[in-house]
Structure 1
Amino acid sequence: MSNINYLQQMEPVLKNYGVKPHFIERFGKIFRIYSDKGIFALKKISPKHGTDFIRHIQYLYQKGYNRIVPVYPTVDGRYAVLHNQELYYLMPWLPNEEKENRNERNQQLFRELARLHTLSLHEVTIDPKEKEEHYSTISSLWEKETEFIEGYVEACEGKQYMSPTELLFCLYYNNIRLALAYSKNKLKEWFEQTKEETKARAVVVHGKISSEHFLYDDRGYGYFTNLEDSREGAAIHDILPFLSRLLNTFPKHCDDCIDWLYVYLKYFPLKDDEILLLLSYFAHPGPVLRVVEEYYKSKERNERKFVQRLQKQFWLLKNSEYVVTRIEEIERQKKQAAAAAAAQSNEGAQS
C-alpha cells in the first residue's frame, strides 16, 4: 500500500488525537507516523484485547510503574480508537538504538520485569479443591503422555524396519521419559507443599516478554511495549516462554539464560513452591511430544520434515535440561549455605 493510501486510511484515526500526518511507514501492525507534532507509533490490535490492555496499563501506572511506552489519550480522553472494526492506540516512537550488547540488554529487561512484578504483586484466594482438581488434571494428562510414549516405543521396536522418524524417537525415548518423570515429581512436590494453602501470589503478567518488546529511548532507558496480552497470573508465566524461545535453537549450554534469571530473582525472589512449579513446567517435554503425537496420527508423512522437527524440539529439551539442572544446583547450594549460616549462628548464641 502506498503512503497516500496509508494517509487516507489513518487520518480518521489520528484526527482523534489532534495529529495531522505528513508521511506514514508501516512495520507489520505498527505505523510510524511523521506529523506536525513529531514522530509517533500507531498500533493496530484486535478489539477483544482493548479493555483489559488499557486497564492493566492504568493499574501499573497507579502502582508507580512507569517503564511502559506511554499510551496517549485522544482529545476526549479515550486510550484507543475503534475504526473499521480494528482498535488503534498511539505511542511515542522510540529510537531503540543498540547502546548495549545483548547480555546487558537482557539483564536490564529482567531487572525491569522484576520491578513490574514487584509493584503489581498481590495475593489471590485459592480454593484448595480447585487446586487439587488442577493438579489431578495435569497429573492425569502427563501420565497419559507417559503411557503413550511407552506404548509407541514398543510398537516401533517391534517393527522389522523403522522409519527415520521412528528410529530417531527410539533414540530420544529415554531422555523424553526421564524429563516427563522429573516434571511429574516436581509437580507432586509442589502440590504436597501447597495443598493446604488458600493464598497465592499473583502479578500483572506482560504476556509477550521478548527483547523486541523492550524498547530504548534516546537516554538509554528501557520500556516495555506490546502489553495487549497482559493479565493477572503467576510470575513464571512471563519467565518460561521467554527462556524457552531463547533455548529453541541448536544445542547449547545457555549460561547467560541462568545469569538473566538470577538477575530477576535478585529483585523478585520466587518462593520455594514457585521454583518447584517453574522447574516442573520448564522441564516438561511438551514440544517434542507434540511432534511425536502428530507423526503417530498423521496419514501422510513427510519423513524429512518430521525428522527435522523432532530433532529441533529434542535440542530444546536438552537445552532446557541444562538450565533446569543448573537451577537445581544453585538452589541446593543456597539452601546448604543458609543451613550452615543458621547452624553457625546457633553455635555462637550457645557459647
Structure 2
Amino acid sequence: MNEVIHKIAEQYGIHPYKIEQVSERLFRISDGKHLYALKQSNLTESNLAFWEYIYHQAYSQNIQSILPVYLTKQSKLYAINNQSYYYLTPWLSSNKLDQQQVIRNLYNAIGEIHVKTKRTQFVQTDTLISTFTDYQKNSAELYKKELYFVELFEKNRFMSPFELLVCTQFRIMDNVLTVLNNCIDLFISQIQNDKEWNYSLCHGNLNLEHILHHNDTYILNWEKATYDNAIMDLSILLKQLVRNYDQSSSQLTDSFSAYTNHNKLKKSELYLLAIYLLNPYPYIKKIQDYIDNPSNDTMINQVKDLQFTSRQLLFGLKWFEFVEKEKSVKDNNKEN
C-alpha cells in the first residue's frame, strides 16, 4: 500500500518521509516538515463534479468551516489511482472541548454553511400538503400495529428483554404518534401561507466523527453532500447525537441559538424538523424484524438498537416542546 501512497503523493509534489494508516481509508503522511491527511474516498464519477463544486463554493463564498483540500500539480482537487479517487487535506490535531462548546461550535459551523449557500424557490404547496397528509394518515395506523405487538408479547408467559422493552415503551409510542399528528397539522397550517422553500448545501452525513476542532471548527468528508432543506442535515445530526446519553436534550436545545443566529429557520421548518425527529417507522421496523427473525442478532444488540431508536423519539418529543415554548415566547414579545 505504501507504494500506492507514494504514487499519489507524487501527484501533489510531496515526498513522504513517514506514512501511517489511521483507518481503512485514511492515511497520515509526513514529509519531515508538514503533516497531511490523505483520504481514499468513496466518490464515483457520477458525484465527483458536485463534490468539486462544493470546494469551489467554499472558496468563492469564503466558507471557512469546510476544511480545504490541496491541489495536485495539475491543479485538480483529487488524484486517481486504480479507479479510486483520493484527496489531500492538512492534518490538524483536534482540541479537547467540553460537550457544550463542541455543540455550539458545530451549530455555528453548519449554520454558517447553510446560510451562505441558501437558495429560495417557489413550491407547489398543494403537492407538499398532500404528501404530508398521506404520511399523517399512514402514521396514525401505526398505533394499531404497536398495540398488536404489545398484545402479542404479553401472551408469552416469559417475555424476552426485547419484548419487555416494547411493552414498557408503549405509552411513549402512543405519545409520539399523538404529537406527530399535531405537529403535521401545524406544519401544514404554516406551509399553506408560505410559497417558498429553502435549499442549502447539506453535508448528508453530519456527525461528531466529521467535526474537527482546531483553531477553528471544520466539517470534514463532503462525499455525500447534496442541496436540500437545511432540516435534512439537522435531523441527521440530532438523531446521531441523542443515540447515546453523552448529550442531554437541554444541551442541544439550549445551544440551538448558535445555529439560528446564522441561519434563521421559519416556523414551518422548525415543525418539519420535529416531524423528522418523531419518525416512528424505524422503531416499528425493528419490532417487525424481531418478530420475523428473532435470532437474526443477539438479544443484547436488538435491545440496544431499539433503545437507541426510542431515545431519538424521546428527543423528538423534547424538541417539539422546545419549539412550542420558543413560539410562545416570541408571540408574547410581539404582544408586548
TM-score, shorter chain, exceeding 0.5: yes
Shift of 1:227: 1.3
* Farther off after superposition, 286-295 or 125-134: 125-134
The count of aligned residue pairs is: 331
* Farther off after superposition, 135-144 or 101-110: 135-144
- Residue 247 of structure 1 contacts residue 319 of structure 1 at CA under 8 Å; is this kept in 2? yes
What amino acid maps onto 2:75 in structure 1?
A: G
Mapped to 2, the partners of 1:105 and 1:155 lie a distance apart of 44
SS at match of 1:25: strand
What amino acid maps onto 2:270 in structure 1?
A: I
Q: 2:4 aligns with which of 9, 16, 19?
A: 9
- Residue 203 of structure 2 contacts residue 225 of structure 2 at CA under 8 Å; is this kept in 1? yes
Mapped to 1, the partners of 2:107 and 2:192 lie a distance apart of 30
Q: Which runs of 5+ in 1 are unaligned?
A: 342-351
Mapped to 1, the partners of 2:76 and 2:279 lie a distance apart of 43
What amino acid maps onto 2:324 in structure 1?
A: E
CA, structure 1 residues 225+304, in 2 after alignment: closer, same or farther (shift >3 Å)? closer
- Residue 242 of structure 2 contacts residue 312 of structure 2 at CA under 8 Å; is this kept in 1? yes
- Residue 67 of structure 2 contacts residue 89 of structure 2 at CA under 8 Å; is this kept in 1? yes
Query: In the alignment, what sits opposite 2:262?
Result: 267
CA, structure 1 residues 251+161, in 2 after alignment: closer, same or farther (shift >3 Å)? farther
Query: In the alignment, what sits opposite 2:41?
Result: 45
Query: In the alignment, what sits opposite 2:217?
Result: 222
Pair 1:35 & 2:31 matched? yes
CA, structure 1 residues 216+267, in 2 after alignment: closer, same or farther (shift >3 Å)? same
Q: 1:60 aligns with which of 53, 58, 61?
A: 58
Query: In the alignment, what sits opposite 1:20?
Result: 15
SS at match of 1:203: strand
What amino acid maps onto 1:143 in structure 2?
A: A
What amino acid maps onto 1:151 in structure 2?
A: Y
Pair 1:83 & 2:81 matched? yes
RMSD: 2.5
CA, structure 1 residues 299+39, in 2 after alignment: closer, same or farther (shift >3 Å)? closer
SS at match of 1:267: coil
- Residue 253 of structure 1 contacts residue 319 of structure 1 at CA under 8 Å; is this kept in 2? no
Query: In the alignment, what sits opposite 2:236?
Result: 241
- Residue 126 of structure 1 contacts residue 199 of structure 1 at CA under 8 Å; is this kept in 2? yes
SS at match of 1:223: strand
Larger radius of gyration: 1
Aligned-pair identity in percent equals: 21
Pair 1:334 & 2:330 matched? yes
Mapped to 2, the partners of 1:216 and 1:310 lie a distance apart of 32
Shift of 1:137: 4.6
- Residue 18 of structure 2 contacts residue 30 of structure 2 at CA under 8 Å; is this kept in 1? yes
- Residue 78 of structure 2 contacts residue 86 of structure 2 at CA under 8 Å; is this kept in 1? yes
SS at match of 1:268: coil
Shift of 1:288: 2.6
- Residue 104 of structure 2 contacts residue 258 of structure 2 at CA under 8 Å; is this kept in 1? yes
Q: Which runs of 5+ in 2 are unaligned?
A: none
CA, structure 1 residues 69+315, in 2 after alignment: closer, same or farther (shift >3 Å)? closer
- Residue 47 of structure 1 contacts residue 82 of structure 1 at CA under 8 Å; is this kept in 2? no
Query: In the alignment, what sits opposite 2:90?
Result: 92
Query: In the alignment, what sits opposite 2:313?
Result: 317
Deviations 1:272-298 (A, max 9, x none): 111111122223334432321212222
TM-score when normalising by structure 1: 0.84
CA, structure 1 residues 76+118, in 2 after alignment: closer, same or farther (shift >3 Å)? same
Query: In the alignment, what sits opposite 2:148?
Result: 151
Shift of 1:259: 1.9
Q: 2:287 aligns with which of 289, 292, 295?
A: 292
Shift of 1:136: 4.3
Deviations 1:283-330 (A, max 9, x none): 333443232121222253755543444344334433443343233223
Shift of 1:133: 4.6
What is the correspondence of 1:81-230 to structure 2 with a 5 Å cutoff? Answer: 81-98=79-96, 100-157=97-154, 159=155, 161=157, 163-164=159-160, 165-195=162-192, 197-217=194-214, 220-230=215-225
TM-score when normalising by structure 2: 0.88
CA, structure 1 residues 156+96, in 2 after alignment: closer, same or farther (shift >3 Å)? closer
CA, structure 1 residues 332+23, in 2 after alignment: closer, same or farther (shift >3 Å)? same
What amino acid maps onto 1:59 in structure 2?
A: Q
What amino acid maps onto 1:53 in structure 2?
A: W
Higher helix share: 1
Shift of 1:60: 2.9
